[in-house]
Amino acid sequence: MIDLRSDTVTKPSDEMRAAMMSADVGDDVYGDDPNANSLEERVAGLFGFEAGLFTPTGSLANQLAIRQLVKPGDELLTETFSHIVRAELGAGAVFSGITTRTWESPRGLLSATDPLHIARPNSGPYQVSTAAIAIENTHNFGGGTVQSIDEIRKLREESLKLGISLHLDGARIWNAHVASGVSFLEYGSYFDTISVCFSKGLGAPVGSVMLSNKERNVSARQWRKRYGAGMRQIGMLAAAAHFALDNNIERLSIDHAHAQSLARAVHAVADHVINPQEVETNIVILNLSGLLTDANDLSAALKAAGILSSPVGPKILRLVTHLNISDEDISKVNSVLPDLIESALEA
């Protein structure tokens, strides 16, 4: 099967497995795992932060971060289709008493005026106060959208005046860096907390890091344990993340090129289904509105041809390229998918 459901389906390479097998380990709850410690320090330095905290998932990294910025009863602002509010199952409300309010934007693309327009800090004893704003870069459900660094900068400048913190859901910040050329240090300079993930485009089997200052890191480490995610000999997992950072960042441009190829092939037969100019990274979102097929049926037809995809709405199909997808795989998809789309036009 050619698996385009997500970039989370990647499998560790033989070289990554070798690095994992040879890793030094220790009990991380006691702070004794050398690879976990060095990974946290490395990623913190990469983005210009004081401290990092290894977590098993990106969702946990996000949740630990926002609970450091938002008190129970206060609110977090984020885009309507962001991962924090659409794919983390209400964790902010369940575990931290955080309320959320959202703004909607095309493809999840940030315009600083949108969150600033609805922000209400220091609202007094009778209304909810805005404590933080979360930005997702790249924006998953927006189709791998890369956020404008100018808009991020503008949002930071204005939010500081209002006393509002900023969190970056940077699960795919590696893709944003490769696509935009913006440095990790610059991204880091505009946020109070950041989450980054190793198990998507970078191809590690598991793991994320939450970045913050030392004080928040101490609190987040306690909450990680309280949530049941205090891990022991995790050096093997941290070694995989180290390997990913060493070897798999710059090659993301290949995934981006593969996504462009898919988008252009579909656009050639149905230009309203996808605009290649809006495919900036490794996520391709097909809008099947107007076709005589839906996402589930098209996904089933692709599966019958040996291609896995993800329906994410009745008429929305997502395909995600990654390091386990070859040029030959893309050629096969480009020989199958456009024909299926064209058949739905002609039916």
318-338 pLDDT, tens digit per residue, is 999 999 999 999 999 999 999
Q: pTM for this one?
A: 0.96
Beta pairing class for 283-287 and 316-320: antiparallel
Instruction: Give 156-165 pLDDT, tens digit per residue.
Output: 999 999 999 9
3-class DSSP state of 317: strand
Q: What is the structure's pLDDT at 170?
A: 98
Query: Which neighbouring-strand residues pair with 284?
Result: 319
The DSSP secondary structure of 144-207, one letter per residue, reads SBPPPHHHHHHHHHHHHHHT-EEEEEETTHHHHHHHH---HHHHHTT-SEEEEESSSTT--SS-
Q: What is the structure's pLDDT at 246?
A: 98
Domains and CATH numbers, the chain: 12-247 (3.40.640.10), 251-346 (3.90.1150.10)
Instruction: Give 130-189 pLDDT, tens digit per residue.
Output: 999 999 999 999 999 999 999 999 999 999 999 999 999 999 999 999 999 999 999 999
Instruction: Give 98-109 pLDDT, tens digit per residue.
Output: 999 999 999 999
Q: What is the structure's pLDDT at 347?
A: 53
- Is 51:217 a contact under the CB 8 Å cutoff? yes
Q: What is the structure's pLDDT at 267?
A: 98
- Detail the DSSP E strand segments found in the chain: 2-3, 51-55, 75-79, 99-103, 130-136, 165-170, 193-197, 208-212, 283-287, 307-308, 310-313, 316-320
Residue 346 reports pLDDT greater than 80? no
Mean pLDDT, the chain, integer: 97
Report the distance separating Cα 141 and Cα 143, nearest Å.
Answer: 5
Q: What is the structure's pLDDT at 274?
A: 97
Residue 124 reports pLDDT greater than 80? yes
Q: What is the structure's pLDDT at 289?
A: 94
Instruction: Give 3-29 pLDDT, tens digit per residue.
Output: 999 999 999 999 999 999 999 999 999
Q: What is the structure's pLDDT at 98?
A: 98
The percent of residues above 90 in pLDDT, for the chain, comes to: 99
Residues 271-298 have a mean pLDDT of 96
